[in-house]
Amino acid sequence: MSLIYIVTFAVINHFMIYRRIDSVMQLLEEDQKHLLVDTTPDVSRTRAIVQEWEKHEMYMAAMLLHHEIEDLEIGMMLLENYATENQYEEYLETVNECINKLRHVKETQKPDAGNIF
């Protein structure tokens, strides 16, 4: 019976992490598209990204290894600084890094043989 609970928890946790990652990635990818047209970081979009991250950060920190999300935590802090200081290149680089890191975390959470063994 406890095996059923463990498997159920793992499946639910898997989808919860995916959903949370996707919600942050969606905002980052939208911002990335805007930056290709307008080279000025939008502070309101940045705040929305950071707020979405903060909404999910505690859960992700509890469920994932710290080193998996440490770069994301730093990246989110830097985004606000770069946006308010209008540092386009640094901002875009950090957006790209956050997207890539989120994709990597999502990839490592896939329940396949490579991640299990």
DSSP-derived secondary structure for 85-115: TT-HHHHHHHHHHHHHHHHHHHHHTS-SHHH
Mean pLDDT within 87-116: 85
Q: How confident is the model at residue 114 (pLDDT cuts 50, 70, 90)?
A: low
**Predicted confidence band of residue 112 (pLDDT cuts 50, 70, 90):** low
Q: What are phi and psi of 71, to 5 degrees?
A: -65, -35
Task: Give the orientation angle of helix 66-84 with respect to helix 88-108, to 10 degrees.
Answer: 160
Q: How many residues does the chain have?
A: 117
Residue 116 has pLDDT above 80, yes or no: no
Q: How far apart are CA 68 and CA 45, in angstroms?
A: 24
Q: What share of the chain is helix, strand, coil (3-state, %, to 5)?
A: 85, 0, 15
Are 35 and 94 in contact by the 8 Å Cβ rule? The answer is no
